[in-house]
Amino acid sequence: MSTIVHKKIPTYYNFAGGEWTEATSKELIESFNPATGELVSYSQKSNIQDVSQIIESVQHSFLTSDWSMNPKRRYEALHSLAEKMTEKLEHLALILTMDQGKTIRESRIELSGCIDTLKYFAGAARSVFGRSMQLEPDNFGVVVKEPVGVVGIISPWNWPALLMIRELAPALAAGNGVLVKPASLTPSISVEIFKLIAEIPHFPKGIVSIVTGPGKSIGAAMAASDKIDMISFTGDTSTGKSIIEMGAGNVKKVALELGGKSPNVVFEDANLDKAVPVIGRSIFISAGQICMAGSRVVIHESIKDEVVKRLKEYAEQLRVENGLLETADMGPLVSQSQLDLVEEYCEIGRKEGRIITGGYRMAGETYDQGFYFAPTIIDGLMAGSRVVKEEIFGPVLAVQTFSTEKEALHIANDSDFGLSAGVWTSDLNRAVRMSKGIKAGTVWINTYNKNFPETEFGGYKQSGLGRTRGVDGLMEYCETKHVHIEIDPREGAPL
User: In this structure, is residue 450 part of a structural domain?
Assistant: no
Same domain flag for 254 and 298: no
In this prediction, the residues of the chain whose per-residue pLDDT falls under 50 are 1-6, 495
pLDDT at 5: 46
Pick the catalytic residue from 106, 110, 192, 257: 257
Contact 36, 322 (CB under 8 A): yes
> Of 235, 192, 178, 179, which Cα lies nearest the Cα of 99?
192
Same domain flag for 290 and 412: yes
Same domain flag for 276 and 245: no
Residue 359 sits in a domain whose CATH number is 3.40.309.10
Same domain flag for 107 and 21: yes
SS3 state of residue 203: coil
Measure Cα distances from 20 to 12, 85, 205, 210, 440 in Å: 9, 20, 12, 10, 42
Torsions phi, psi for 370 (to 5 deg):
-115, -175
Instruction: Please give the tally of structural domains in the chain.
Output: 2
Separation CA 170–CA 183 (nearest Å): 20
257 is a catalytic site residue: yes
Element (H, E) at 354: strand 354-357
Contact 148, 230 (CB under 8 A): yes
Same domain flag for 299 and 439: yes
Same domain flag for 50 and 92: yes
Contact 425, 432 (CB under 8 A): no
Same domain flag for 200 and 267: no
Same domain flag for 325 and 231: no
pLDDT at 494: 54
pLDDT at 365: 86
User: In this structure, is residue 471 part of a structural domain?
Assistant: yes
Angle at which helix 272-284 crosses helix 304-317, to 10 degrees, equals: 50
pLDDT at 422: 98
Same domain flag for 237 and 312: no
User: In this structure, is residue 491 part of a structural domain?
Assistant: no
Residue 243 sits in a domain whose CATH number is 3.40.605.10
Same domain flag for 289 and 249: no
CA angle 377, 1, 313 (to 5 degrees): 20
Question: 492: phi > 0 → left, psi -120 to 50 → alpha, else beta; which?
Answer: left
Separation CA 415–CA 398 (nearest Å): 13
Same domain flag for 220 and 282: no
User: In this structure, is residue 489 part of a structural domain?
Assistant: no
User: In this structure, is residue 350 part of a structural domain?
Assistant: yes
Same domain flag for 231 and 297: no
Separation CA 191–CA 262 (nearest Å): 31
pLDDT digits (tens, 9 = 90+) for 466-481: 999 999 999 999 999 9
Separation CA 253–CA 275 (nearest Å): 39
pLDDT at 489: 81
User: In this structure, is residue 6 part of a structural domain?
Assistant: no
Range of the domain at 45: 14-258+463-481
